[in-house]
Amino acid sequence: MKPVTRRATLAALGLSAPALGTLSACGGGTQPTGGGGSPSSLSVWALTGAKQDTYQASFDAWEEANPEDPFAVEFFANDSYKEKIRTAIGSGSAPTLIFSWAGGTLADYVDNDSVVDLSGRVDDTLSRSIESINSVGQVDGAQYAVPNNDTQPVILYYHTGLFEEHGVTPPTTWDELMTAVETFSAAGITPLSLAGQSVWPELMYIQYLTDRIGGEGAFQKVLDGEADAWSDPAFTTALERIVELVDAGAFGDAFGSVSADAGADVALVHTGQAAMILQGSWVYGTFKQDAPDFVAEGSLGFLNFPAVDGGTGDPANVVGNPANFWSVSADAEEEVQELAIRYLNEFNLNEEMVGDFLAMGAIPAVTGLEDQLAALDDGEFLSFAYDMVLAAPHFQLSWDQALPAAPAQELLTNLSQIFLGETTPADFVAAMNATLAS
Amino acid sequence: MTTARHSRLRTAPSNWLLAPALSFFGVFALLPLGGVVVLTFFAWDGLGTPRFAGIDAWISVFQNPVTLHAMWLTLAMTALSFAVQFPLSLLLGTFMAGHQRYREAYSVLYFLPLLFSAAATGIAFKALLDPNFGISRAVGVDWLRLDWLGSPNLAFYTLIMVISWSFVPFHSLLYQAGVRQIPRSMYEAAMLDGAGRVRQFFTVTLPQLKYTIVTSSTLMLVGSLTYFDLIFILTGGGPGNATRVLPLDMYLTGFRSYQMGPASVIAVLLIAVGLLLSLGLNKISGSDTMDSQMEGA
Amino acid sequence: MRHRNPNLLGGVLGTLWLLVILVPIYYIVITSVRPREDYFSSNPLSLPSELTLEPFRYVLENDFLRYFANSTVVTVVTVIAVVTSSLLASYVIVRSRTRLARFSQKLFLLGIAIPLQATIIPIYYLIVQMGLYDTLWALILPSVAFAIPITVLILTNFLRDVPGELYESMTVDGASDWQMFRSLVLPLAKPAVVTVGIYDALQVWNGFLFPLVLTQSSEKRVLPLSLWAYQGEFTTNIPAVLAAVMLSALPILALYILGRRQLISGLTAGFSK
């Protein structure tokens, strides 16, 4: 007992001295020790989940071809990744390949010179992917990021059994949607399952509604930082429509504690407690995993978001996650950057990777998949989603990703208050306009 | 007395033995304490280096309705969670102090919530209170089918409930220990005077528990300023801003919106409230308990 | 205090509270042995149609043991550092009347009065600048600093009860500070050290904010954070999440069964006086 304590005392005394030394020694330089990337060798962080194996296989293939330069690969859960990558970049210990959703965060990285301009250096990988999605990886016309996985449009799923039982037609217009809402509500079924606790699923409503009502231009003005951009009538009308839905009981009375992380929103549909759900294409996998029979017997239907009468937006437009993206860290040494770029051109979204994504029921963001998709087990769903993306003149990235962090948080908070009936469209617009000024 | 002081002087150990504790505390508590004040005058987004910004952060915080609401919520949560926890803990502690068999057995079980970390408690209650798949479905009672954590009017009170569930056991342990230290003769004397159970409680138990009450209340009140983990996991400050108390507001402003300047202002507010509260409580309690404890009185 | 009639009202209310305490715990236990398929369809408080340990297997396969090891390392190192440095400091504070000793005493009292968690932003900055971000040191160092004030308070209270003559006699024998500390202070303070050690260990073991802000990778993840992460990763697998909750409480449960008295005195260290 005693010798242990003595050693511990020495350790305790010894600890603080070097720690103080480090404090004065580094005024913000690069610190490779933080568990993140090292500037002198290849490293990459990606997300856990179904696609983890695909990335791993791709990096393994690279390692086989380049045994001298393997990737140090690390996987994170979605939420923790988003919070942590920023710190790593801020402290100069970012991985060589930076995984992102493009949008506002990518713009921040570009502002901080944290990522490399890839224009003209990644043409091989760009030639494989879908053009409208490639353009999401551009900042001020320069290519800073390239798509690296599947495209994830937001889809209106519905329970075909419940629709037949209550004689409702799958809605393609706003009026039909409202009719469906009234019918199901009267029958004691939640018309639209909504994960209100997660808040971000609420964005899908305002995004689709704004787009259908006023087109993609309204939000573009916000991104451009125009004064009072949120005063565009498209936003106000969209918010009023949301209030209309809430008042009609479209989301039931308990959406506030339904969490998307726990998949409870999806469960409500396959257990027959809710009739529809507006969610990303990724929840198709959750349906299949949690309720294989439900999907197999064809009970899951899918639609694009209904058109809104008198709206000026193209009803073929799509919102969601165009794809995830790779950027190359500017903190990495030149040779390492070159290696990473070579990986992107030779291995990113190559045939093997595309095959892997298709096998798991994801739609890689590449062109020319029509025939392959139709032949798959989930061909019906995959072709539907793929055609939806190819046919879309505009693919709107999720607003919370497109905006810088602070306005994005403000948006989520205000939006959740709209759904809860705690704020009015006018106050929402005023609060959001205030974020433009700063 | 004089010999004691004399001996102290002669055998006083070297001040160097203070070095480890002081250096840890200095670097990782005092330095950050000063740092948080300094950071309120800087703009920093978590990337790059902080940039001097004058009193911008202070102005923005005091003009921000979200933070003002958070202050109000923090006060309400402090008051309400105290109002629930204090009588519950006091009564339970007195109950547990009894030596009846069943009470001792109950006390063993009352302890169970203390086995779970705030994170574990939060996650368990989140599943339990799910309106669709949780307890509401277990019991066919309509009033249980509420949106416990999802309704802005209800979430705050639900949190108070969960907070009480996880903290009352600790405080009742304190009271149990306090009651058991009360000499039995005092109760016997009271009984001879014909005092019933209720009067004994008010004339003997309560006055004798004075110090326990001060300690437990201080911990309850100051502790309620730092409820973070439980709320973070259960509601994340939502729905809307309904449970966004100051610690949550600080975290979300700093590590979600990356506005470290305003987040530091909120931190300073928290520190100020905490300091005022503990000093105030010491004043009210009449005796400076902490000092008197330090002096070994 | 023996009453002629039993306290009926007290018994009823006590039993009610027992239910309030037990229902959530029963729910955790029962759900953690429920097959995943049953979770969405069966009554959450009913006994599952079949008991399964599948959720536990699932958790253990998902790096639970690594997080457990991380938590253990952080807790053990922190407690050793806190108790050692605090015991040295308390020894000086009790035995010395120099200005520094009195100043230190006041300083640590201040540390108790302030919600130190509010300094998380500068701590984050400091840790990043030190290059310690996402290491276990990032958790240990601030945890030590935060635990020192209360530990010092409890230990000084205890050491004050040691008669001065004991120190006196050893000084006469020519013992150095170090010998005095090892052969007198340490053995004398042992019961208080156990109590306060348990208290500090529980605080660190359950800590959430530091791991949340100061670490990122799964390599460095500790238990409370892993529970939160599981909730996101396992999506609809609630039984597995609650199995992880159960497993995370096991060490404390073991401590409770082995040494209930010590655990309780550790929990209420210095507060129930």
Asked if A74 lies within 8 A of C41 by C-beta distance, the reply is no
pLDDT above 80: residue B284: no
Report chain C residues whose CB lies below 8 A from the CB of A94: none
Asked if A34 lies within 8 A of C231 by C-beta distance, the reply is no
> Using an 8 Å Cβ cutoff, are A325 and A101 in contact?
yes
Asked if A255 lies within 8 A of B150 by C-beta distance, the reply is yes
Q: Which residue has the tokens 């396969």?
A: C61
Check if A198 contacts B (Cβ < 8 Å). Answer: no
Q: Which residue of B has its CA nearest to A422?
A: B240
Segment A210-269, tens digit of pLDDT: 999 999 899 989 988 889 999 999 999 999 999 999 999 999 888 887 888 767 889 899
Angle (deg, nearest 10), helices A103-111 and A405-419: 160
Check if C34 contacts A (Cβ < 8 Å). Answer: no
Check if A17 contacts C (Cβ < 8 Å). Answer: no
How far is the alpha carbon of C271 from chain B, nearest alpha carbon, in Å?
A: 7
The beta-carbon neighbor of A257 closest among B20, B66, B130 is B130
**Contacting partners of chain A (3+ CB pairs under 8 A):** B, C
Report chain C residues whose CB lies below 8 A from the CB of A6: 182
Confidence of residue C36 (pLDDT cuts 50, 70, 90): confident
Q: Which two tokens stand for residue A18?
A: 């070097």
The beta-carbon neighbor of B147 closest among A16, A23, A254 is A254
Check if C77 contacts B (Cβ < 8 Å). Answer: no
pLDDT above 90: residue C77: yes
Residue burial B235-259, b: 16+ Cβ < 10 Å; e: rest: bbbbbbbbbbbbbbbbbbbbbbbbb
Please report the DSSP string for B32-81 in residue order: HHHHHHHHTTEE--SSS--EE-TTHHHHHHHH-HHHHHHHHHHHHHHHHH
Asked if C236 lies within 8 A of A290 by C-beta distance, the reply is yes
pLDDT at C261: 80
Q: Which residue of A has its CA nearest to C138?
A: A34
Which of A248-262, A280-294, B69-83 reaches the highest mean pLDDT? B69-83
> Using an 8 Å Cβ cutoff, are A279 and A305 in contact?
no
Report chain B residues whose CB lies below 8 A from the CB of A256: 147, 149-152, 155, 238-239
Check if C40 contacts A (Cβ < 8 Å). Answer: yes
Asked if C242 lies within 8 A of B24 by C-beta distance, the reply is no
Q: Residues B44-66: what's their mean pLDDT?
A: 86
Distance CA B277, CA C132 (A): 34
Asked if A89 lies within 8 A of B259 by C-beta distance, the reply is no
Indicate the CATH number for domain A4-150+323-367. 3.40.190.10
Report chain C residues whose CB lies below 8 A from the CB of B228: 117, 208-209
Distance CA A384, CA B16 (A): 74
How would you class B181 by CB atoms within 10 Å of its CB: exposed for 0-12, middle for 13-18, buried for 19 or more? Answer: middle
Report chain B residues whose CB lies below 8 A from the CB of A9: 20
**Cβ within 8 Å of residue A280, ≥6 positions away:** A152, A153, A154, A155, A204, A320, A321
How far is the alpha carbon of A16 from chain B, nearest alpha carbon, in Å?
A: 7
**Cβ within 8 Å of residue B132, ≥6 positions away:** A254, A258, A264, A267, A268, A273
How far is the alpha carbon of C88 from chain B, nearest alpha carbon, in Å?
A: 5
Q: Which residue of C has its CA nearest to B196?
A: C3
Check if A257 contacts B (Cβ < 8 Å). Answer: yes
Q: DSSP class of residue A333?
A: -
Q: For domain A152-319+397-437, say whether CATH 2.60.40.10 is its number.
A: no
Q: Which residue of B has its CA nearest to A263?
A: B133
pLDDT above 50: residue B54: yes
Q: Residues B40-48: what's their mean pLDDT?
A: 83
Check if A119 contacts C (Cβ < 8 Å). Answer: no
Confidence of residue B293 (pLDDT cuts 50, 70, 90): very low
Distance CA C185, CA C198 (A): 19
Enumerate the domain spans of chain B.
57-286
**ipTM of the predicted structure?**
0.88
Return the percent helix, strand and coil in chain B, to nearest 5: 75, 0, 25
Segment B143-177, tens digit of pLDDT: 667 788 888 889 999 999 999 999 999 999 999 98
**pTM for the full predicted model:** 0.81
Check if C43 contacts A (Cβ < 8 Å). Answer: no
Which of A135-144, C30-39, C162-171, C233-242 reaches the highest mean pLDDT? A135-144
Report chain B residues whose CB lies below 8 A from the CB of A408: 257
Report chain B residues whose CB lies below 8 A from the CB of C164: 4, 7-8, 11
Four-point Cα dihedral C26, C32, C34, C39, nearest 10? 90
pLDDT at A2: 30
Is the Cα torsion angle C241, C245, C247, C248 positive or negative in sign?
positive
How far is the alpha carbon of B182 from chain C, nearest alpha carbon, in Å?
A: 11
Check if C40 contacts B (Cβ < 8 Å). Answer: yes
Contacts 24+ apart (CB under 8 A), B54-57: B56/B261, B57/B259, B57/B261, B57/B262, B57/B264, B57/B265
Check if A273 contacts B (Cβ < 8 Å). Answer: yes
Segment A20-78, tens digit of pLDDT: 223 223 333 333 333 456 777 899 998 877 788 899 999 999 999 999 999 999 887 77
Q: Residues C164-188: what's their mean pLDDT?
A: 78
Confidence of residue C123 (pLDDT cuts 50, 70, 90): very high
**Contacting partners of chain C (3+ CB pairs under 8 A):** A, B
How far is the alpha carbon of A22 from chain C, nearest alpha carbon, in Å?
A: 6
The beta-carbon neighbor of B258 closest among A262, A273, A405 is A405
How far is the alpha carbon of A390 from chain C, nearest alpha carbon, in Å?
A: 30
Asked if C21 lies within 8 A of B169 by C-beta distance, the reply is yes
Q: Which of C128, C144, C148, C215 should one mutate to test binding to chain A, selecting the residue with the greatest count of A CBs within 10 A?
A: C128
Identify the CA nearest to B41 among candidates B272, B265, B270: B265
Report chain C residues whose CB lies below 8 A from the CB of B10: 168, 171
Four-point Cα dihedral A232, A233, A239, A241, nearest 10? -150
Q: For domain B57-286, say whether CATH 1.10.3720.10 is its number.
A: yes
- Bridge partners for A150 per DSSP: A364
The beta-carbon neighbor of A406 closest among B126, B127, B258 is B258
H or E stretch covering B282? helix B260-284
Which residue intervals of chain A bear CATH 3.40.190.10? Answer: 4-150+323-367, 152-319+397-437
pLDDT above 60: residue B4: no
Asked if B131 lies within 8 A of A90 by C-beta distance, the reply is no
pLDDT at C112: 82
